[in-house]
Each structure stands twice: as C-alpha cells, then as structure tokens.
Structure 1
Amino acid sequence: MSDKPSVLFVCVHNAGRSQMAAAYLTHLAGDAVEVRSAGSEPAEAVNPAVVAAMAEDGIDISAEIPKVLTADAVRGSAVVITMGCGDTCPVFPGKRYLDWTLDDPAGRGVEAVRPIRDEIRERVAALAAELLGPAGSRGA
C-alpha cells in the first residue's frame, strides 16, 4: 500500500463528472495522489461534450475509457467521492465518503457542461489543497 493519498471518484456512467474530477485531481496533484474513477453502470465512451469542455481548460481526456466500479477500487481508496450513484457504492469501514451533488452532463451540450466542469474544478482544487496542503499542488 502506498503512502500517497488515494481518491476514487464515482458516478453512474463514468463518462462525465467522475472523469472530469479525476482529470483535475491528476492535473493538480500529479503523481502525489493515486486517482481512480469508476461508474456503477459505465457507458461505452466518455461524453463528447465533457471531452470538449475539458479540452477548453487544457486537459485532454479523449483517451479515457469508462470503468466499472468494483469493491477492490473502493477498498483501495482512502477517499471515495460519489456523484449521483446512490447506494450502489460499496461501503467499507475506515474510508472517507463524500457525496458531491452535481448536475449530470449526460445528453447536454458543451455550453451546459461548462458550469458543471467549473464547479468540479473548484471542488477538486479544495480537495487537493486539503490532501496535499497549498504547497503540494502543482497549480493549474
């Protein structure tokens, strides 16, 4: 087990919110944090409007593939952040669980995805500062 903080972002399809959050945390923290994302019912591909919105912010997630949520992914994470997946996320003692209420970008255009992206970026920046301290963040 690594000494690094580990975070798992979970949403239903792993095609929007959790992908954006994982990309931002990876961008901000580099390899100082183990970052995972998964979905309770993964989609075939990441939402194209999400890919476009992230590209506008200089982050390329076009090669990402939605992954299925597993008990091992939860077990291997110190912090589990859910985003609209309800009770499908397994709960293990000793894990920190946060539930972020965010609009679902599914079926929306890039204009509607931008405010969701921006809110995720703010929440992830606060999480990165908490996990690493202000000096630990690489900045955006």
Structure 2
Amino acid sequence: MTQPAYRRADLTIDQQHALLTAARTLAAEFDGTFGAETIDRFLHTSYDQFAGRATVANFLPLMAERFARQRLRALARVEGKDHSGTPIVLFLCVHNAGRSQMALGFFTHLAGDRAIGWSGGSEPGERINPSAIEAMRERGIDITGEYPKPWTHEIAQAADVIVTMGCGDACPVFPGKRYEDWALADPAGQSVDAVRPIRDEIERRVRALLDELGVPAAAGNT
C-alpha cells in the first residue's frame, strides 16, 4: 500500500502519525472492498469535518478514524458491497448533541447487532448536552463515547430509515427513503428534570420503530 501524504502544515507530527496509523487500520478492515486512495480521501475529509470546531485537538485523529469508518461502511452499502441486510437507521437533529444522541443510545442499546444506528446534525455542536448524558446515565446507557458529527450523502443514502428531529429543510431528502419526523422538544440548555420526559418519549418511539422493523429489543434492557 502506498503511504498517504499526511505532511500538511496544519498537522503536528503526532497527528500525522496517528492518521497514518488510522489509514493502515482502515485499509486492513476494508481490504478487498476499497483501495488506499478512497480510504485516504475519506479519512482526510473526515478529519477536516472536525478540525475547525474540535475542542480537544488530540482526539481529532481518533474522531476522524471513527467517522471515516462509518462513512466507508455506508459507501459499501450504497455500492452494493455489503450484503448483510442489517437495517440501518439514521437519527438527525440540528446539533447532534441531544435528541439524536439519546435516540442513538437507546437504539444501539436495545437493538444490539441486529440493527445499525447512526446519528448526525445539520449544524453539529461542540459537545453532547450534559443533561442528555445524565438523563441517559439514569437509564444505564453511557453516551459519553459519542460526539456531534455531520451527516454525509453516503450515510443518508445507506440508511433504510431516516428519523428527523427539528432540522427541517436542512435534513437530507432522498427519493424512496422511509422518513419519520419526531416532534420533540429541544433539550438544549435544559435541566435534567426537563430532559427526562423527552428521553422517555424518545425511548418509546425507538421501541416502536424497532418493533416495526421486526428487530426484537434485547431482553432485560431498560
């Protein structure tokens, strides 16, 4: 594999090394599916998505690797290279910091490996809403490992269901997709007390969606 050129003026030596390591990891994961050029491009564009707003620069290569992995999986589905048939649901809101993150948390927790959940925002924020984190922790679900991120065309195209929550015209529209619009209060700036009923309504809707998709919720969860 030809080594990608990561010697950009905006990257430190440590960041260059971390991105090169990420490229090697992704190349091994997608060997036989995508070539080095595609992986390099997705990794760099994913890095650029976060570089302008990340509060902790040291985490940028890791965030870029995780987002590039998600995008490459989506591209594999779009291009017919993924034949697993596992349903994919994309949860979208404005900042990807509250509602869509709680929905993803419940979906992943309840569906396990029987369905894939992704989330994104039309205007991603800098961090997940602390009240949403605490409200989900009360239900035994840790969403601190997630981070606000944008949606991309391949991610939206790969989804079987797109659930929107307040992003209006900024949300993607692709013919033939199943859409659901969940009218939910915005938890931004709200206390944990105010977020709890939003959380509970999200859980109810996620459970109903899983039932409609024929995906059984994991026994004993929440």
Aligned to 1:39: 121
What amino acid is the match of 1:119? E
For residue 98 of structure 1, the aligned residue among 157, 180, 184 is 180
More helix by share: 2
Deviation at 1:62, TM superposition (A): 1.1
The one of the two structures with greater contact order (alpha-carbon pairs below 8 A, sep at least 6) is 1
Deviation at 1:132, TM superposition (A): 2.2
Residues 32-111 of structure 1: pairs in structure 2 closer than 5 A: 32-111=114-193
Task: After the TM superposition, list the runs of 4 or more consecutive aligned residues in structure 1 that deviate by more than 6 angstroms.
Answer: none
TM-score by length of 2: 0.61
What amino acid is the match of 1:73? I
Give, in whole Å, the separation in 2 of the partners of 1:123 and 1:90.
Answer: 21
**RMSD, matched Cα:** 1.0
TM-score by length of 1: 0.95
Q: Which has the larger radius of gyration?
A: 2
Give, in whole Å, the separation in 1 of the partners of 2:111 and 2:143.
Answer: 16
* Equivalent pairs, count: 138
SS of match in other structure, 1:21: helix
Question: 85-94 vs 38-47, which deviates more?
Answer: 85-94
Give, in whole Å, the separation in 1 of the partners of 2:96 and 2:88.
Answer: 18
What amino acid is the match of 1:138? A
More strand by share: 1
Superposed CA offset, 1:23-61 (max 9, x none): 101111101111100000000000000000000000000
SS of match in other structure, 1:98: strand
Give, in whole Å, the separation in 2 of the partners of 1:13 and 1:119.
Answer: 19
> Which segments of 5 or more consecutive residues in structure 2 lack a partner in the other structure?
1-81
Give, in whole Å, the separation in 2 of the partners of 1:17 and 1:46.
Answer: 10
Deviation at 1:129, TM superposition (A): 1.2
Question: 103-112 vs 91-100, which deviates more?
Answer: 91-100
Give, in whole Å, the separation in 2 of the partners of 1:71 and 1:15.
Answer: 20
> Which segments of 5 or more consecutive residues in structure 1 lack a partner in the other structure?
none
SS of match in other structure, 2:132: helix
Q: Among the aligned pairs, what percent are the same residue?
A: 58
Deviation at 1:111, TM superposition (A): 0.4
Give, in whole Å, the separation in 2 of the partners of 1:29 and 1:63.
Answer: 18
Question: 37-46 vs 86-95, which deviates more?
Answer: 86-95
